[in-house]
Chains A and B, each alone.
Chain A
Amino acid sequence: MANPFLSMNSIRKSFGNVKALEDAKFHLEKGEVHALLGVNGAGKSTLMKILSGVYEQDEGEILLDGKIVHLRSPKVAKEQGIYCVYQEVDTAIVPELSVAENIMLDTIATHNNLFISTSKLYKEASNALKQLQAENISVQQPAHKLTLAEKQLVLIARALVSSAKIIIFDEPTAPLSLHESAKLFSVIHQLKAQGVGCIFISHRLPEVFEISDRITVMRDGTLVDVFQTVDATAEDIIEAMLGTSLHQEQHTSNYPLGETLLDVKELSDGHKLNNLSFTVSEGEIVGIVGLVGAGKTELAKALFGLELLTSGSVKLSGKEVRAAHPKDAISAGMALIPEERRKEGLFVHESLQTNASFPNLRKFSNLLFMNKSAEKSFAKDIIKRLQIKTDNTETPLIHLSGGNQQKVVIGKWTSRDSILYLFDEPTKGVDIGAKADIFGLIRELAESGKGCLYFSSEIQEAIGISDRILVMYNGQIVKEFSRGDATQERILLYASGGKEE
C-alpha cells in the first residue's frame, strides 16, 4: 500500500515509571472509519491524546500525508485538521453561548478581526449543520438547551467548519439512545463520503462491526493486530484484546452458603438502571461485572441510598430497606467501599485513627466526648488485622500508599458489624501485593458469613474472587455465570452487548 494518510510509528510514552505506550502504531486512510479497541489501560486514550496534541510522545513519529508533524498542543493538532469529539461533550461546550457561536468557537478564537459579523456566523454554522443533515437545530438558541446527541453534532460541526481531516470519536455512543446512535452513524457515513478519516473508540462490539472498515486492537500499550472488519469475528477481536496466557488461579474454598441476605427485585432508577433482580447469600461473593458506563457504580450507589429508585424493592435479611440517605443503608447493615477512594472514601489529611472511627463515632465516645484511647486501640487493631503498612495511628493517610489507604476504607467498617459489603472497583490504583491482601480480606469477610458484592470492570479479577458473576450491560443484568462457567471471553462478549449463538 502507498503511504497512508496518517501514520503513527513506534510511539513511546511513559508517565513516571509507568510505560503507557510501547512501540505503538496506528494508521488511518482518508475516508475510512477505523475502530480502536482495547481493554481499560491498553493505551487507547493515551495514543489518541498524543494525536490530538494533549500529550507529546517521548519517542516515535507522526506522519500526516507523508510529512512529519509535531503536534505540540491541541491548537497545533487542530491546525493540522485533527479534531476530537470527547465523550463528555459538556466539557467542550460553552452552555451560555448560542449554537452558532459554539460551532464557530475555534474560528472566533483565532479570528484576527475585532468584530464578528453575526449573520455570517449564523450562515456558516447552519451550513455546517446542513452538511450533517441537522438543519432542525436552531443556531440561535443557547447551547444548554440541546440534548446530548445534539451537542455531539455541534462538536462535529465545529470540526467540519475548520475543514477537519481526522475526527476522533471517543466512546461517542455511550450516552446516546439507540435511535440517536443510528443517527450518529449516518453522520459518520457522510463524513466518510467527504473523505474525512474517522477514528472510532467504543466498548460496544456490535457497533464497531456496524460502522468500521478496519479494527486496530491494542493491548499493554502496543498494537496487537489490525483486522479488516468484514473478515473479523467477535471472538477474534476479544482474543486479541485479552491475549491468551491470562488465566489465573481461581479460589476454590467451598464453604457452605447461608440464607439469602440481600434480595433485590425489579430495581429501576428511571435513568440508567433497568429492572435488576438478584440475590446475595450469607457468605457469598457476587461479582457484578460490566464495562465502563454499564451502570455498576449507579447500582452500588442506589443500594446505598445515594440515588433515588423509581421502582423495585431491596430486602436485607428479610427486612425491606428504603434507603433515602446512606445513613439508612448503614443502619440496615450495609457498608460501601466507594470507587473514588480519595474523593469519596477518606479524609486524606486526617489520621488513620480519625478515619477508622468515623463511621461509628458513638462506639468511640462516652456520651458526647470522644474516647481517644478506644479509637487508638481500634486503629491499632485494624493495622494488625489488615496488615496496613504504617506504625503510627496518627499519620495522615495522605502519606500511605493506595493499597494501604484502601485497607483503611475497608477496615473502618469492621467496627459496625455490617452484614453486606459493597466493593466498587476496590483494586483500582492498588499495587499487586496489596491487591492480594484485599482479596484475602474480602474472602475472610465472606467466610465469616458476610455478603459481598464485588463491582468491577477487571474481569479476570472478578472471576478470581467471585462465587457467582452477574454481567451488566446498559443498566441491565444480561447474564449470570456460576463459578467454573465464567471465562473472560464469555463475560466480555456479554459485557460488550454480544450473545453466544
Chain B
Amino acid sequence: MQAVGKKNKLKENGIQFLFKYGAIALLIIIILYFSSISEAFLTYANFTDILRSISIVTLLALGVTFTLVVGGFDLSVGSTMSLSTVVTASLMVWYEMPLWLVIILPILVGVLVGVLNSFLIVVLGIPDLLATLSMMYIVAGFHRTYTEGYSIYNNMPLTAGGTAPGQLSEAFLWIGQGRMLGLPVPVWIMLGMVLIAYVVLHHTRWGRVLYMTGGNAEAATLSGVNIRKVKFAAYVISGIFASMAGILFTARVGSGQIDAGAPMLMEAVAAVFVGYSVLGAGKPNAIGTFFGAAVIGILLNGLTILNLPYYAFDIIKGAVLVSALAVTYVYAKKRFTQTG
C-alpha cells in the first residue's frame, strides 16, 4: 500500500517538475547540444540573429496569447499578417503614402479582422476555432485578390501597364533592418511589445479581467464583468499584433510577399503552448510566449547550422507543439482529478 503511494507520489512529482521546468530544461539541453557541435552557435552575432528571427513570430504569438487568455483562440493571425504585409507594401509602392499612414492603415486592417472575428464568435456564437478558421481563408483570399497573386516590390510592373511609382522608403526599411544600441530594431520592438503585454496582463485591472473571463466566464459575469466586451477586445488586440507582425515583415524583407504569414501560424501557436508551462504558470502568459518563441527559434537555428533540410522543419515545429500540448494537458488532467 505504502510503496504504491510512494511510487505515485514520485510520478506526480515528476509530472510537476516536467511542467514547471520542462521548457527551461529543454532550452538548456538544446543550447548545450548545439554549442558542443558548432562553434558558430554560441556567439553574440548568432544570438542577435536568433532574436531577430523570432521577433515576428513573437508578435503574432502575443496576439494568440491574448485570445487564449480569454478562453478563445485565433487561427486567423497568419492570414491577417499576410494581408497586412501586402497592404503595407502597396501603400508605399503603389500609392506613395507617407510613412505614418503606412503604419496606421495596416493596423486598422488588423482591427477590422479582429472586429469581424469577435462578431462571429461573440455575437453569432460560432465556436472560436471554426470562426477563425473560416476567417483565415477569407482573409488569405482577400490578400491574394488584392495583389492579384503577385508579391509587391519596388519598381514592379503593373497589370495596368508601366511600373509602380513608389518605393519602400529608407526610414521604413530601418524598422526591419536597422540597428540600435547593439541590437536590431525588430528585437527592440519585440522586447517592447513583450514588456507591454506582460504589464497589461499581469499588473493591470484589464489583465485581471481578461484572465478571469477565460478562467470562469460565469463567475466573471456574476462579478459584474461584461464578458462579451472583454472577448471583443481580445480579438481586436490579436488582430493588431498580427498586423504589426506584417508591417515588420515587410520592412525586414523589403517587399510585400504574399502568403508571408501562413507558415508562421504554427510557430506562433507552438510558442504560446510552450510558454504555458514556463515556471509553472499553467496559463497563457506574455513572458512564457516569448520564451516559447525563443525555444523554437533556437531549435530551428541550430538545425539550420546542422544543415537539416528546410522542408523538414515543420516536423520539428509540430513535434514541439505536440510535446508542449502533452505536458500541458497531462498536467491539467492531474490537477482536476486531484481535487475531484
Among candidates A306, A347, A368, A399, residue contacting B205 with C-beta atoms closer than 8 Å: A368
* Stretch of B189-197, B212-220, B250-258 lying at the A interface: B212-220
List A contacts of B335 (CB < 8 A): 349, 398
The answer to whether the Cβ of A338 comes within 8 Å of any Cβ in the partner chain is yes
In B207-232, the 8 Å CB interface with A consists of 207-209, 211-212, 215-216, 218-226
A-B contact count (CB 8 A): 70
A344 lies within 8 A of B219 (CB): yes
| Measured CA separation A7–B203 after assembly (Å) | 64
List A contacts of B216 (CB < 8 A): 343-344, 346-348
B219 lies within 8 A of A345 (CB): yes
| Measured CA separation A359–B222 after assembly (Å) | 9
| Measured CA separation A336–B221 after assembly (Å) | 11
List A contacts of B209 (CB < 8 A): 361
B339 lies within 8 A of A398 (CB): yes
List B contacts of A304 (CB < 8 A): 222
A349 lies within 8 A of B215 (CB): yes
| Measured CA separation A358–B205 after assembly (Å) | 9
| Measured CA separation A223–B215 after assembly (Å) | 44
The answer to whether the Cβ of A95 comes within 8 Å of any Cβ in the partner chain is no
In A344-393, the 8 Å CB interface with B consists of 344-350, 354, 357-359, 361-362, 365, 368-370
A369 lies within 8 A of B203 (CB): yes
Distance (Å) between the CB of B230 and the closest chain A CB? 12
The range of chain A's interface size is: 20 to 34
**A interface residues, Cβ below 8 angstroms from B:** 304, 306, 325-327, 330-331, 336, 338, 343-350, 354, 357-359, 361-362, 365, 368-370, 398-399
The answer to whether the Cβ of B313 comes within 8 Å of any Cβ in the partner chain is no
List B contacts of A354 (CB < 8 A): 208, 212
A344 lies within 8 A of B222 (CB): yes
The 5 closest A-B pairs by CB, nearest first: A327-B224, A330-B224, A347-B215, A359-B223, A361-B205
The answer to whether the Cβ of B36 comes within 8 Å of any Cβ in the partner chain is no
Output the nearest chain A residue to B227 by Cβ-Cβ distance: A325
List B contacts of A365 (CB < 8 A): 204-205
A346 lies within 8 A of B219 (CB): yes
B218 lies within 8 A of A344 (CB): yes
List B contacts of A358 (CB < 8 A): 208, 212, 220, 223
A327 lies within 8 A of B205 (CB): no
| Measured CA separation A40–B208 after assembly (Å) | 39
The answer to whether the Cβ of B137 comes within 8 Å of any Cβ in the partner chain is no
| Interface of chain B: mostly helix, strand, loop or mixed | helix
Output the nearest chain A residue to B207 by Cβ-Cβ distance: A370
List A contacts of B211 (CB < 8 A): 350
List B contacts of A326 (CB < 8 A): 221-224
Output the nearest chain B residue to A350 by Cβ-Cβ distance: B215
| Measured CA separation A345–B215 after assembly (Å) | 12
Distance (Å) between the CB of B302 and the closest chain A CB? 35
- Quick one: which of A354, A359, A370 has the most chain B CB within 10 A? A370
Output the nearest chain A residue to B215 by Cβ-Cβ distance: A347
| Measured CA separation A348–B206 after assembly (Å) | 20
Given contacts A344-B219, A345-B219, contact A368 B206 (CB under 8 A): yes
| Measured CA separation A359–B211 after assembly (Å) | 14
Distance (Å) between the CB of B331 and the closest chain A CB? 12
| Measured CA separation A302–B222 after assembly (Å) | 12
- Quick one: which of B204, B208, B225 has the most chain A CB within 10 A? B208
CB-defined A-B contacts under 8 Å, sample of 28: A304-B222, A326-B221, A326-B222, A326-B223, A326-B224, A327-B224, A327-B225, A330-B223, A331-B224, A336-B222, A343-B218, A344-B216, A344-B218, A346-B216, A347-B212, A347-B216, A349-B335, A350-B211, A350-B212, A357-B208, A358-B223, A368-B204, A369-B203, A370-B207, A370-B208, A398-B335, A398-B339, A399-B339
Output the nearest chain A residue to B218 by Cβ-Cβ distance: A344
List B contacts of A368 (CB < 8 A): 204-206
Distance (Å) between the CB of A6 and the closest chain B CB? 34
List A contacts of B219 (CB < 8 A): 343-347
| Measured CA separation A350–B222 after assembly (Å) | 16
The answer to whether the Cβ of B166 comes within 8 Å of any Cβ in the partner chain is no
Distance (Å) between the CB of B276 and the closest chain A CB? 13
Given contacts A326-B224, A347-B219, A398-B339, contact A370 B203 (CB under 8 A): yes
